[in-house]
Each structure stands twice: as C-alpha cells, then as structure tokens.
Amino acid sequence: MAIPSIDKVLDAERHQTKVTTGMNLIDLIKNYVDKNIPVLIWATMDMKETSPGYSWIINYVDENSPYKIGDIFTWMKGEHCLVLVGYDDNNYYFNDPYKNYGLIAYEKNLVKQRFLELGQQSVVILEKTQV
C-alpha cells in the first residue's frame, strides 16, 4: 500500500512509499536499515510514556481501516514520528525532527515499548529498483 500524501511529493519515476505497519523492529532492521533504507516509525516525543488523549466515535472507514463505524478511537498523547537509521547492542539510533540535531540514541527496550504502544506503525520510501 502506498501513501498518497507522501507520493505527491516524490518523484514517481524513482520512488514509492511502502507501508510496513505491523512489522516488528527486528524485521524492519533486517529488511531495511541493514540495507541503508531508513524507516519512518511512530513512537513518542523523547520516548516518554504515552497517555490517553481525546476520544471520538469513528464515523468513516475505508478498506484499509482496522476499525469499523461506531468504534471508539482514543488518540495517544505525545505521538511522534522519527526516522530509524541505525542500531547497536543497546540502542536504536534516529534522526529526530523534534531534536533537529544529528543522531539521537534511545534504549532498545524503550523504543520497542513505545513503538508497540503506537501500533507498530511504519513507512519506508523505496527506490523503484528496490521494490
């Protein structure tokens, strides 16, 4: 599945998005980061603990939705996207637009926990030759 909003700014001749939501961090590392393909993941700002935010009743779904009309959705506070670019024995390394400076390291178990709390959401941008 592609991401239409991202695809609008990509050169469609060279790149395309791929939703990798549901893949665990180990598989994202093996399939992408180890091949020098960064992965956009959803976690939290500064890897701080999540907490429930606003809730609402779902009144629209499409064919990709895990929800149905009438379900209650609760947004988790502190949601944040950052780019996974590396790892070592203890940490995952990110380019974090919130921090706006070089690499930032977060402890692996903490990243895993926050990534799970936000539904293991992730996206990669691939060159057409990698598809």
Domain ranges (residues) in the chain: 4-46+81-130
**For position 21, what pLDDT does the model report?**
93
Asked if residues 9 and 1 have their Cβ atoms less than 8 Å apart, the reply is no
**For position 70, what pLDDT does the model report?**
96
pLDDT at 42 over 70: yes
Architecture of domain 4-46+81-130: Alpha-Beta Complex (3.90)
The rounded radius of gyration (Å) of the Cα atoms in the chain is 16
Distance CA 92, CA 88 (A): 7
**For position 6, what pLDDT does the model report?**
74
Q: What is the pTM of this model?
A: 0.84
Chain segment 76-85, per-residue pLDDT in tens: 899 999 999 9
All residues at 6 or more sequence positions from 89 whose CB lies less than 8 Å from its CB, including other chains = none
**For position 4, what pLDDT does the model report?**
64
Chain segment 93-104, per-residue pLDDT in tens: 999 888 777 799
